[in-house]
Structure 1
Amino acid sequence: MLENIKFCCTGKQRSILSVDKTYNLSELFVTPTVFKHIALCKTGLKDKVHPLFFGPIFLHGNSDYRTYNIFFSELQGVFKKHQINVENIIFGSDEEFAMVSALRKNFNTSKHLLCTLHMRRNLSISLKNSQGVPMRLREYISNMIFGENGIIYSTDDIMFRKKMLKFRNICIVNKYDKFLKNMFKSFEKKLYEYVYIPLKNKFISQVYTNNNSESMNSVLKMMIKKVVPLHTLITIISDQVFYYEKELERAVIGLGDYYIDCDLSKHDRVSLLKFVKESTAEVGSNNHKSTTISKYITSSYGKITLMRPKGSKKLSQFRRSRKF
């Protein structure tokens, strides 16, 4: 898992490491990290569609800053131990204050994005609940900020400030005093730091949404139809993580629903037939030698090493019994 994160989330064409909490799976909350495996592609499609993989998953009873800080502090230590350069990682999340604060403390050199769908929805809810802003005006404000030529796509800081001033004037004219007093400054700061700056500096090519995390959370919810005991939850999550790791192994030998994108991967694709033939030939040549056969088989193609199968034959059994 960690090698996959290192390969997919710290290179030139890197995947965003998304974090999102989900509910109603157990008595505990589940917060998985999710990333796209950029070396794998879905078979049968014209375009390259990279599958989603689970990263480290956090099970917790509370959702406060202290709890999230324990997880991200541990995660930071694990990344350091495995020489994963956190400066190259781009984290993505929603606006949950405790999560964002703990993430920023432990990964202060990493880049961080906020989900624009959550920001847009939360802005609309704030304007409605605090000031009773009608839907038409809320939609106009949202488009002014997040639309095609919105504030987040400003070409420089001067244009960004100018457009934010226009938004502020709309609030002043319509007497949205509570929103201006309680929410405007924090909203402007988050919009500038977590959306506008990453787009301007081309850390990302398009706005970030938490859709990848939501998709993987849905996978867990489909596997868990109702609230289950903790041990059952852990078993189901482990099986899901194991499933994706197996799909990666299958793709290496040309099986499964995915294939290796050789333009990005450090591994070459090897057909199963080619691998079996070459490995079998290698075993045959070893049988003529008096030396002990290695526990591992390395394809003469030179790229893959697997543990040698032990075989299904019992000790001292030379032919299959025909008695029934």
Structure 2
Amino acid sequence: MDGQLKKASSIDGVEELSCPFSDIMQIYKLFEESTTVLQSPPTLDKSNCYFFCKKRPNSESITQRYLDDVEGWISSKSKHRTSYYLEHNFKLIYKRDDGYCFQKMIDGIKSFEKIVPPPGEKDVFIFQKYTAENVSKFFCKIVYSLISKKNPGFSEKILYQYIGAQPVNNNKKIISPKRPVGNVSDILRCLSKVGDGFVRSVLNIPDNLPPIICYTDDQIADFKTNCKRENVIIGIDSTFNLGSYFLTILTYKNQRIVRKETGDHPIVFGPILLHENITFENYHYFFSHVAAILESDPDSKIDTSKITFGCEHENNVMRAVKSVFKNSLSLLCAKNLEENFTNYVGKDCKLNEKIVLKYKTLLFGDGGLMGSQSKLEFDLKEHKLHAELGNLKFFSKYIFKIADQIYNHVCLPKWKLGIPNYWTNNNAESMNYIVSSSVNWQISQTEELIDALRETVERHYSNVKKGLYGQDHLIVGQLYTNTKSNRSLLSCLKVTQC
């Protein structure tokens, strides 16, 4: 951190704290006990600290009201929330047109019950919370304000809290909101790697870090060979917290070799994308590049319509896949679908456990939608599900969205591909684990991350070559055991001494 910026502990009224406040009671107590109120947010290293400031006029915009000297706040991702609490017991209540209410859950249905007798103005305080994210992804700001008739002094001050490390650039200046996170010289060194046999493409996007596509010659040759097989499944998974970039890796089971101990095909790396934002545009750029590589050789005879892509979520990744590989099948991780359903209905909707278990069984149980062996069986079970919903009409839209995902991205691909089990993204996640461990789970400079990726991929494909020679723990798969086929496969890879 810049030596010219004072540390939090050096200024009276600024306290150090590295995590959000635990609850509303802790914040209320801080408002009661605070004795030092600064005129405005001080110029200091705001990493993991909090302090009180004089409240600015409500006539100003929210951004101006909570202004500080830190640049790089993403206004589009800021959030402002207002809540109401009872003064005597800090219980959350809700304000409706007809007065204050408690929220009730009756048989899993959310409803509001008017408070009788209604609380007076001094019985209720207003809690406001403003959150803002920084372009660094590892730094955020939270601003709290309380309005209380019982304690009128609360409304004269606001509580600032900063979580994470305040970012700076090489010139020891606070990062500009228009400049992406990352060392500029580091990015320039990455650009110089284009054509080095691993970094294959870098796209210039204004005000963003450039997305980078990486693979070795061995890697893409093996990828193309496996994509000639019918019903190949390409897994897609992203990881983060390794630096300024997200990392999206394509993985697949190498059909040419098997493990001696288990007879299973090993999971291998396909092309890799480094990208700052998880946008449709970045993914479309990546998959367009992959499609061009697969279709560039007229003699390769790769039918991209027979490639299946699998991912955790039906999001920008799958939108980009369907835009580029229009006739391909898409799989969603069955395990992830079930976990998301459980979290949503159990935590967000706050349905009781009995109802959660009932619909979880109807959707994901052996006798539920996911266990269907044909479209007719699926339709019959879906009709039963519709009848079971009864009065839970508010819930039916979400239920049938899940049912649609199960049919299109779990059951239909399973029937067409003839795979015995539901697909999960465990294989892709395991490869991301290998990548993360290669940099010891540390945030790395981009050049270091690329070098670690290359080393990991080359080591990985060294083992693939050994398998093609029948060495080590891998052997040539049954489909490729004849001499002519094996010579052809070996020619796809650069044969080096392993």
Of 370, 380, 384 in structure 2, the residue corresponding to residue 162 of structure 1 is: 380
Q: 1:200 to 1:253 in 2, by over 3 A?
A: closer
Amino acid at match of 1:235: D
Shift of 1:308: 10
Alpha-carbon separation, structure 2, partners of 1:244 and 1:267:
24
Contact 2:438 2:456 in 1 (8 A): no
Amino acid at match of 1:113: L
Amino acid at match of 1:95: H
SS in 1 for 2:475: strand
Match of 1:228 in 2: 444
Alpha-carbon separation, structure 2, partners of 1:26 and 1:19:
20
Of 459, 480, 483 in structure 2, the residue corresponding to residue 265 of structure 1 is: 480
Amino acid at match of 1:25: L
Shift of 1:267: 5.9
Q: 1:136 to 1:38 in 2, by over 3 A?
A: farther
Alpha-carbon separation, structure 1, partners of 2:428 and 2:238:
9
Shift of 1:161: 2.3
Match of 1:18 in 2: 235
Unaligned runs of 5+ in 1: 270-300, 310-324
Q: 1:266 to 1:110 in 2, by over 3 A?
A: farther
The 5-angstrom pairing of residues 123-272 of structure 1 reads 123-173=341-391, 175=392, 177=394, 179-181=395-397, 183-225=398-440, 226-261=442-477, 263-265=478-480, 268=483
Shift of 1:90: 1.2
Amino acid at match of 1:100: M
Shift of 1:87: 1.4
The 5-angstrom pairing of residues 268-307 of structure 1 reads 268=483
Q: 1:304 to 1:72 in 2, by over 3 A?
A: closer
Aligned residues: 271
Match of 1:297 in 2: none
Shift of 1:34: 0.3
Amino acid at match of 1:86: T
Match of 1:28 in 2: 245
Alpha-carbon separation, structure 2, partners of 1:302 and 1:78:
20
Name the structure, 1 or 2, with higher relative contact order (CA <8 Å, separation 6+): 1
Q: 1:126 to 1:169 in 2, by over 3 A?
A: farther
Match of 1:39 in 2: 256
Amino acid at match of 1:219: I
Q: 1:142 to 1:308 in 2, by over 3 A?
A: closer
Answer yes or no: is 1:55 the counterpart of 2:270.
yes
TM-score scaled by length of structure 1? 0.75
Contact 1:21 1:32 in 2 (8 A): yes
Q: 1:25 to 1:162 in 2, by over 3 A?
A: same
Of 121, 128, 132 in structure 1, the residue corresponding to residue 339 of structure 2 is: 121
Q: Deviations over 1:213-250 (max 9, x none)?
A: 01101111111221110001001111111112211222
Match of 1:79 in 2: 294
Superposed CA RMSD in Å reads 2.7
Match of 2:47 in 1: none
Amino acid at match of 2:248: T
Deviates more, 1:158-167 or 1:72-81: 158-167
Alpha-carbon separation, structure 1, partners of 2:452 and 2:276:
18
Instruction: Among all aligned residue pairs of Structure 1 and Structure 2, give the percentage whose two residues are the same amino acid.
Output: 23
Q: 1:85 to 1:170 in 2, by over 3 A?
A: same
Q: Deviations over 1:51-82 (max 9, x none)?
A: 11100000000002122111112211111113
Contact 2:310 2:332 in 1 (8 A): yes
Match of 2:116 in 1: none
Amino acid at match of 1:76: A
Alpha-carbon separation, structure 2, partners of 1:26 and 1:68:
19
Q: Whose radius of gyration is greater, 1 or 2? A: 2
Answer yes or no: is 1:106 the counterpart of 2:324.
yes
Contact 2:309 2:330 in 1 (8 A): yes
Match of 1:272 in 2: none
Unaligned runs of 5+ in 2: 1-218
Alpha-carbon separation, structure 2, partners of 1:224 and 1:185:
42
Match of 1:5 in 2: 223
Shift of 1:198: 1.6
Higher relative helix content? 1
Q: Deviations over 1:62-119 (max 9, x none)?
A: 0021221111122111111134321121111111411111111111111111110111
Q: 1:201 to 1:304 in 2, by over 3 A?
A: closer
Alpha-carbon separation, structure 2, partners of 1:253 and 1:147:
44
Contact 2:465 2:495 in 1 (8 A): no
SS in 2 for 1:264: helix
TM-score scaled by length of structure 2? 0.50
Alpha-carbon separation, structure 1, partners of 2:274 and 2:386:
41
